[in-house]
Amino acid sequence: MTNKEFTPEEEQLIEQAFQNLLAEYAKTPHTQRVERITRAYEFAKKAHNGVRRLSGEPYMLHPLAVATIVVKEIGLGSTSICSALLHDVVEDTDYTTEDIRNLFGDKIAQIVDGLTKISGGVFGEQASEQAENFRKLLLTMSEDIRVVLIKIADRLHNMRTLGAQPKQKQYKIAGETQYIYAPLAHRLGLFPIKTELENLAFKYEHPDMYAEIEAKLAVSKASQIENYNQFIAPIQDKLTAMGYQYTISARIKSVYSIYKKMFSKSIPFEEVYDLLAVRIVFTPKEEITEKDQCWMIYSALTEIYRPHPERIRDWISTPKANGYEALHVTVMGQNGAWIEVQIRTNRMHDIAERGLAAHWKYKTGEGEESELDKWLRTIKDVLQHPAEQNALEFLDTFKLNLYAHEVFVFTPKGDIKTLPQGATALDFAYFLHTALGDQCLGVKVNHTLVPLSYVLKSGDQVEVMTSTSQHPQPEWLHFVTTAKAKECLNNYFRKEERAYVHSGEKRFNDALMLIKAEDCRDMALQRMLNHYKLVQPNQLYLQIGEGAIRLDNMSSIIFPKKSIWKKVQQLNPFTHTSSSTSSDMSSMSDTVNPSNPLPKGHKIELTDENLGTIFHLAPCCRPIPGDEVLGYLADDGKMYIHKVECNEALLLKSSQGKRLYAASWKTNRIQSYHETIHIQGIDKPGIFIRVLTIITTDFNINMSGIHISSKDGIFQGTLDVFVYDKKELEDLFVSLKKIPELTAVQRIEHS
């Protein structure tokens, strides 16, 4: 950010943005508190006066844009609008949370405080500041959900203006967005925002692929519109004859959604057939339930088109945990393509578009608790013992709760419970109560005893059997998938571990007294650590407490029988060399060639000379020249190169942004890289010889392994090849795909 006086034109731009905000607010059903919003605007404008964003525009336009998203796209009221206008004041100016409280009250001050980044970490210097900020945000979210809704609006505007940021900052922000904010928006029912966040993150991480898919979508748009008009014509006639007021709209698959399908199924754009979906939103008639009317429209629709028997989704009888309700059916269109149709009432559509704000608007009774209310209540369960986790563990634990799919199971009394897909019988026990989980002796599903690792299915009836003599076992951590169950087990084992550590330390001190060595405790402790190849004293105390290390030979370890001179040397702890690590990650003299130091800034070039010496290709994803990559400065001082889409890189982008470097290739086809290719096709005589001829003769590519199998006229297998870069691999694929019998040729991605 920079400071520079605003021009009259810029002042007018700020005022116009504020008037647009008020115009959007006036369209809402909220009680109009314009004076309050105006005071917040004037205060924020004064606080940010003269400050500019990296793009050069006045900074005040950012909080105005966030406030407009809050009211227009999420549907919140004046408290949230004021908080959005003020959300950066405490962080970026000399004003404090107390100033906000005095001027605007406790609630707005609490929300603004929750939106203000922390300074420093509470877990020590090695903790990730990004993960700490997420943690603070979520802790405040458990008190007031508006904190996270405004934060999502803030992130959406930052993503819309991300082009002004340097490349490594784009990686960091896009990675955070993909890892936590998009799933969070989805979990809170903000589907349009979730889709836009995913698209923008993908755009900045894979700009070339994004542009390619976007261009192909534009080319296919005309035919999609023609198919849509043909498809909906008979539906419109039917709904009109039934006397409904309705709207029908087309929903084209998002660029990111198309990419995910291409990537997961290893297919080209041309083979993604479900680009088009159709949405019917209708005004229900008063004398019939919404559920019955949705099924009546479904019945009318299936009189026109044949439904896919396995692709009916009833989210009306049992809404999703984020409040989403609709009836989905996939039918065969006129041109032989499957088309998904979503059937919703106006109320369901409002909740689907605006999530929480609309969800609360339609609540009918104080005692009513939806699945979304229950999920928000469980947030506090996850946050019960925050001090015992480091920030990254906390982030991973919370992310486990951002599941998109659920299963619905029943208690013995017939109460329905919603759990994430993949939840086990032991997860269910912890879901009901921590004590039930800790004392779980066994579980019956549909009156039959099952293993604790049994994966629950919708419709299962589950009964938990307990015993007061039962306690959690370490292997249980392999049986659970939900955040709450993992957190409960980790808390139990941490408490148990602390007890062992305390016991082990006491036994160590008692043993020192027994051999009269308490005066040289530090030396004795170091000798014991060296002998058992341990680093931390607590590791030693834990093993002593558990009985894994006995102390009956402690004297011989501390005072080995050697010459008097060596004994004197050993009694002096300063004669021992020990490995030390620098806390300053900017110093890499131990690991980086001094003649090729890292450049200043966060940009690096990968050459044939520095690969393998200064920069190391990450073994998890094994990038090759031409792949979109980034650099990560690890704790050991080495720079590792990851593919941008690597799962490990995704976590690093969301939690270690300050250690990331934008990386580009500058290699000269000197070094070759191992890649594995998957091929599949029709097994005809000579087909494999043609494949090998193209690889070894036409491209002169070396091979190190061939694994081929054939069954029922179809062959498939893998080929291990050595290529110089991604372009050579892609050129090879183009040539191989010209063989008509080959149905699939793809690179096996490592992630």
Of 512, 501, 511, residue with least CA distance to 543: 501
Contacts of residue 374, defined as CB under 8 A and 6 or more positions apart, other chains included, come to 321, 418
CB burial class (10 A; 0-12, 13-18, 19+) of residue 138? Answer: buried
In angstroms, the CA 112 to CA 67 distance is 13
91 noted as active-site residue: yes
DSSP per-residue letters across 611-679: BTTTEEE-TTT---TTS-EEEEE-TTS-EEEEETT-HHHHHHHHH-GGGEEEEEE---S-S-EEEEEEE
- Residues listed for the chain: 751
Query: Are 352 and 191 contacting, i.e. CB atoms less than 8 angstroms apart?
Result: yes
Structure tokens at 53: 């964003």
| 3-class DSSP state of 320 | coil
Neighbouring-strand partners of residue 327:
314, 343
In angstroms, the CA 430 to CA 421 distance is 15
Catalytic residue among 11, 24, 57, 92: 92
> Any idea which residue has 């088109």 for tokens?
305
DSSP per-residue letters across 428-467: HHHHH-HHHHHTEEEEEETTEEE-TTPBP-TT-BEEEEE-
| 3-class DSSP state of 202 | helix
In angstroms, the CA 388 to CA 380 distance is 15
In angstroms, the CA 692 to CA 709 distance is 15
Give the distance, in angstroms, between the CA of residue 288 and the centroid of all CA atoms in the same chain.
41
Query: Are 277 and 341 contacting, i.e. CB atoms less than 8 angstroms apart?
Result: yes
92 noted as active-site residue: yes
Query: Are 92 and 42 contacting, i.e. CB atoms less than 8 angstroms apart?
Result: no
Query: Are 305 and 295 contacting, i.e. CB atoms less than 8 angstroms apart?
Result: no
Query: Are 244 and 283 contacting, i.e. CB atoms less than 8 angstroms apart?
Result: yes
In angstroms, the CA 507 to CA 547 distance is 11
Give the distance, in angstroms, between the CA of residue 604 and the centroid of all CA atoms in the same chain.
27
Of 342, 282, 279, residue with least CA distance to 316: 342
For residues 508-531, one letter each, b for 16 or more C-beta atoms within 10 angstroms of the residue's C-beta and e for the rest, the string is beebbeeeebeebeebbbbbbbeb
DSSP class of residue 179?
I
In 116-181, where does DSSP find H-type helix? 129-141, 146-160, 167-176
Q: In what order do the strands lie in the sheet with 276-283?
A: 245-252, 276-283, 338-345, 327-332, 307-314
Catalytic residue among 91, 98, 303, 369: 91
**Residue 748 identity (one-letter amino acid):** I
- For residue 188, which phi and psi values (nearest 5 degrees)? -90, 5
- For residue 253, which phi and psi values (nearest 5 degrees)? -55, 140
- For residue 709, which phi and psi values (nearest 5 degrees)? -135, 155
Active-site amino acid positions: 91-92
